[in-house]
Structure 1
Amino acid sequence: MRSLACLTLVVAFWLGAVLAPGQGARADDFAGLARGQFEAIAGGVATLAASGDPQAESVLHALEQRRLFFTPSGGLFIRQGEVYRDARTGQPVSPVPDMIAPVRLNNRVRKALVAAWAERDLSSPLVAKRLGAAEALYHRPDPAMLPAIGRVLSGEKDRAVRSALVRARAATILEQAPAPDQVAARLEAVASLRAAGGLEARGILASVAASASEDAGVRAAARAAVSRIDWTLRVWGVLQNAFYGLSYGSVLLLAATGLAITFGVMGVINMAHGEMMMIGAYVTWMVQQGIRMTVPGLEPIALLIAIPVSFVVCAAFGVLIERGLIRFLYGRPLETLLATWGLSLILQQAVRSVFGPTNIAVETPSWLSGSFALGGMEITLNRLGILVFAFLVLGGLMLVLRRTALGLEMRAVTQNRRMAALMGIRTPRVDAMAFGLGAGLAGLAGVAVSQIDNVSPNLGQSYIIDSFMVVVFGGVGNLWGTLAAAMALGMGGKVLEPTIGAVSAKIAILVLVILYIQRHPRGMFPVRGRGIES
């Protein structure tokens, strides 16, 4: 009888443990989380993630957000504001149990959480989710996920997801401790990461190459892969800087085309040309602010609206400057230079007095924000937009110069002013229109530069010297020369900067331009005409 009573008591305890309220048939799936040891918590995460329990996702989210609590008796609770819910059932709990403590997180537990979400998402019908899960496993490899990766990889059809899974498997294999029977697999993983390239792969391979416990052949393969990736990264780095140089050269192109026109038609060195850029940038900011306050629905296209407004405002300024100042100083280059330099100081101080001395930022519209990868390069949309915009402006300017009466008159005055006047061309009117056109182009440069630089009263001073250098280097009055010189100087400076520094790069470019001008005084593409050759 006594043995029967003991057996009955044991069965009763077992049934009570299994069928206790709030525990259910899946009590053990949650038990690992109700512990104080990190290893047990990480194991509990994996167990719960694989259980399929309807409460699993909310519990793991609570753990990730530090809202999961446990008691020494094995209770598990989710805090939602001031309310605590039983993690196993989702039902509110009142009163709150005594001796409740948060379930702790460390890197091991976080890695288990990443693996849990990744394993769930690897089976998603959405390609984006599967790709994100594979990338997560690549960045935080977990050897426990290796079988799951292999299963998913065998049936994956999408090329991008397969590539990410191959990288994740390689990183996971190399994360494991080296073993003699794993040499072939580790060599294959090294080859996969070498083909993948990138800083992440380089870091993993560098660790393998430096590991004393690694097989000598695997270490040698890892060192060779690191050298190959370093060379590839250097090449992509040069191309990335060249892209930055193209966007900078595009701004120089917009600024220098205006100088090429005014200098080519009138022979005037306009030191206030940079301030036209600055005014164009401030007009862009004012248009953006005005639209935001009056017609907020048009804010996404505020930048497009600012383009013609900046051109018209700056062109009007240019005509006023030519009619009010420059026309009295033709034939006196030194006085013109000093007068326009003084005008630039006046314009800077006027803007400083109206808008303040601090920088202001022109917001980039959403359709110009972000970037995309091109090989090992990151192509930012705002810089790509500036490049496209500069070429569109250059194409429009060429149409004006070649297909309109004003363009024909400007080309005639550029080649031989006296002959053009004798043919009935009103050269003073051409001078005013040319100066206005040049100033308007500088305003467009201001619109472009507002997307990659802060707007301040000193904005124009940062570009005026380089713009003059572009005009002289390319050939005064020649737009093709201006294009070639702007891109050459823009890319040359940006490519040299990482190697010798920004200041040294500018000095080197200046020296090279001077040496070139010594041999070719008229620049790369000199304008030919009787007035110039005589």
Structure 2
Amino acid sequence: MRFLFACAASALALALFAALPAHALTADEARAIASGDTEARIVALDKAVLTADEKTAAFIQAMADDAVKFTEDKVFVMKNDKGYDPVSGAELAVPDAAEDVVNNNLMRGAFDAAQAVLKLASKDVAVRAEGAQGLLKEPSESRLPAVERALAAESDPAIKAQLELVRAASMLDSTDPAKRIAAAKALAERKSPDIKLLLNQRLADETDAGVKSAIAQSIAAIDGALVWGDRINAIFSGVSLGSVLLLAALGLAITYGLMGVINMAHGELMMIGAYATYVMQGVFQRHLPEAAFGWYLVAAIPVAFMASALVGAVLERGVIRFLYGRPLETLLATWGISLMLQQLVRSLFGAQNVGVENPPWMSGGFTMLSNVTLPWNRVGIVVFAALVLLAVGW
């Protein structure tokens, strides 16, 4: 299975690099990337990826997959327990003295960045966008030529803007203080938590006073923009959580206000509705076409209400109606029934929590600001609670 996965990943890497100006991988380049100290390996990797051919791309993928061994004068790409020359592709006998390549976290980050460069050559817009995002996580001045080349060839405005951001982030690594100051000012235009984190990391390592001041000003500007997003997140979290509590409180208010009954099993009746939703999910998964699964939640809403109402009706007819006007006895009786309902659910569904999936149309969210994304499922809860409140009031 791992061999098949490695083959598929290598094929993707080859396809991504089909459009780049090719430079044949040499044995010296392969050794420089596979062995030596980390800094030298990263320099060799960044140099090779700029003009990589298909074999270079496949070798980089193999390195990222930890599928490479080496000796003092040879490098072997391992596939299905066999060794191959990364330059010629010929099968080689792997000596017992061959060592596995060891990639530390810094080296793995460099391989991630190299693979991101590979993706910039793809014809698929989504893949190129993924590559630009990957480079933003590992900015380096040594990758500026690849970024500039991708910028010159890019036609999608969104990806182009992302690559310009990558270029500015890479210039933070420049040896020229003026370039670092310009990069800090350019990054301040992008008010996002990722950029703030990047600037904070650079600020901790910066030694030039002028650059430090520019970075600090950029961070302050970003903080000023993000504070409103933090407030919106806090307000929305409170409203969405309050919507759930509102639904529970409405039931308690109606039960006590109209019937004068303190129902200690109220939470368990809500639990019945939740498990009814879980059962409906299983029905849609097992008995209906896959395309219909997204609508299980719509069907579960009336089913959950009816299941809870049915149990509540049995509870009222069988117990509560004989205890009207006796609040203490009602409290004790409903508390005992709540324990019985809990044990019934444990017996039917097990003691472990069960999961209810979001349907596709409730997955994801609506992005308002760079640090504010409102999940559709929480938006749905707020809207549903508002509709129930209006219906009760009407």
Place the TM-score, normalised by the shorter chain, in its bin.
Answer: 0.7 to 0.9
Change (3 A) 1:293 1:118: closer
- Deviation at 1:340? 4.3
Given that residues 25 and 52 in structure 2 are in contact (C-alpha distance below 8 angstroms), is that contact kept between their aligned partners in structure 1? no
How far does the alpha carbon of each residue in 1:412-434 deviate from its partner, in whole angstroms, 9 at most, with x for none? xxxxxxxxxxxxxxxxxxxxxxx
Matched, 1:167 2:184: no
Matched, 1:349 2:347: no
Query: Which residue is equivalent to 2:15?
Result: none
2:124 corresponds to which of 126, 131, 139: 126
Given that residues 59 and 78 in structure 1 are in contact (C-alpha distance below 8 angstroms), is that contact kept between their aligned partners in structure 2? yes
Change (3 A) 1:210 1:77: closer
Query: Which residue is equivalent to 2:376?
Result: 381
How far does the alpha carbon of each residue in 1:486-530 deviate from its partner, in whole angstroms, 9 at most, with x for none? xxxxxxxxxxxxxxxxxxxxxxxxxxxxxxxxxxxxxxxxxxxxx
Bigger relative contact order (CA 8 A; separation at least 6): 1
Sequence identity of aligned pairs in percent?
Answer: 34
- Deviation at 1:381? 3.3
Given that residues 273 and 305 in structure 2 are in contact (C-alpha distance below 8 angstroms), is that contact kept between their aligned partners in structure 1? yes
- Deviation at 1:329? 5.1
Change (3 A) 1:33 1:188: closer
Name the amino acid aligned to 2:233.
Answer: Q
Question: 1:266, 1:305 → 2: CA distance?
Answer: 30
State the TM-score, normalizing by the size of structure 2.
0.79
Change (3 A) 1:39 1:62: same
Query: Which residue is equivalent to 2:235?
Result: 242
Query: Which residue is equivalent to 1:256?
Result: 249
How far does the alpha carbon of each residue in 1:168-209 deviate from its partner, in whole angstroms, 9 at most, with x for none? 1222111234x3xx42x3333222222223333223323444
Change (3 A) 1:55 1:152: closer
Name the amino acid aligned to 1:311.
Answer: F
How far does the alpha carbon of each residue in 1:117-145 deviate from its partner, in whole angstroms, 9 at most, with x for none? 23222233322222222211211111111
Name the amino acid aligned to 1:91.
Answer: A
Query: Which residue is equivalent to 2:189?
Result: 195
Provide the secondary structure at the position in 2 that maps to 1:55.
helix
- Deviation at 1:83? 1.6
How far does the alpha carbon of each residue in 1:48-100 deviate from its partner, in whole angstroms, 9 at most, with x for none? 32344332222111111111122222x2211112222222222322x333532
Tell me which stretches of 4 or more aligned residues in structure 1 moved more than 6 Å.
none
State the TM-score, normalizing by the size of structure 1.
0.60
Query: Which residue is equivalent to 1:364?
Result: 357
Change (3 A) 1:326 1:203: same
Query: Which residue is equivalent to 1:313?
Result: 307
Question: 2:215, 2:117 → 1: CA distance?
Answer: 29
Question: 1:118, 1:390 → 2: CA distance?
Answer: 44
Change (3 A) 1:345 1:389: same
How many residue pairs match? The answer is 366
Query: Which residue is equivalent to 1:54?
Result: 54
How far does the alpha carbon of each residue in 1:310-338 deviate from its partner, in whole angstroms, 9 at most, with x for none? 211211223333334444555x3xx2464
Question: 1:133, 1:389 → 2: CA distance?
Answer: 39
Question: 1:108, 1:321 → 2: CA distance?
Answer: 63
How well do the aligned residues superpose, as a CA RMSD in angstroms? 3.2
Query: Which residue is equivalent to 2:89?
Result: 90
Matched, 1:390 2:389: no
Change (3 A) 1:104 1:278: closer
Given that residues 156 and 162 in structure 1 are in contact (C-alpha distance below 8 angstroms), is that contact kept between their aligned partners in structure 2? yes
Name the amino acid aligned to 1:309.
Answer: V
Change (3 A) 1:348 1:280: farther
Matched, 1:227 2:220: yes
1:100 corresponds to which of 93, 98, 101: 98
Given that residues 76 and 87 in structure 1 are in contact (C-alpha distance below 8 angstroms), is that contact kept between their aligned partners in structure 2? yes
Question: 2:378, 2:171 → 1: CA distance?
Answer: 40
- Deviation at 1:366? 4.7
Given that residues 270 and 337 in structure 1 are in contact (C-alpha distance below 8 angstroms), is that contact kept between their aligned partners in structure 2? no
Question: 1:97, 1:27 → 2: CA distance?
Answer: 18
Question: 1:56, 1:212 → 2: CA distance?
Answer: 34
Runs of 5+ unmatched residues, structure 1: 1-23, 399-477, 480-534
| Bigger Rg, which one | 1
Write the mapping of 1:122-521 to structure 2, written as runs, cut at 5 A: 122-154=120-152, 156-177=154-175, 179=176, 182-183=177-178, 185-210=179-204, 213-216=207-210, 218-289=211-282, 292=285, 297=290, 300-328=294-322, 332=325, 335-336=326-327, 338-340=329-331, 342-355=333-346, 358-367=351-360, 368-371=362-365, 373-375=367-369, 376-394=371-389, 397=391, 478=393
Given that residues 149 and 165 in structure 1 are in contact (C-alpha distance below 8 angstroms), is that contact kept between their aligned partners in structure 2? yes
Given that residues 27 and 88 in structure 1 are in contact (C-alpha distance below 8 angstroms), is that contact kept between their aligned partners in structure 2? yes
Question: 2:252, 2:264 → 1: CA distance?
Answer: 10
Provide the secondary structure at the position in 2 that maps to 1:99.
coil
Runs of 5+ unmatched residues, structure 2: 1-23
Given that residues 25 and 53 in structure 2 are in contact (C-alpha distance below 8 angstroms), is that contact kept between their aligned partners in structure 1? no
Query: Which residue is equivalent to 1:65?
Result: 65
Question: 1:201, 1:276 → 2: CA distance?
Answer: 47
Question: 1:55, 1:104 → 2: CA distance?
Answer: 21
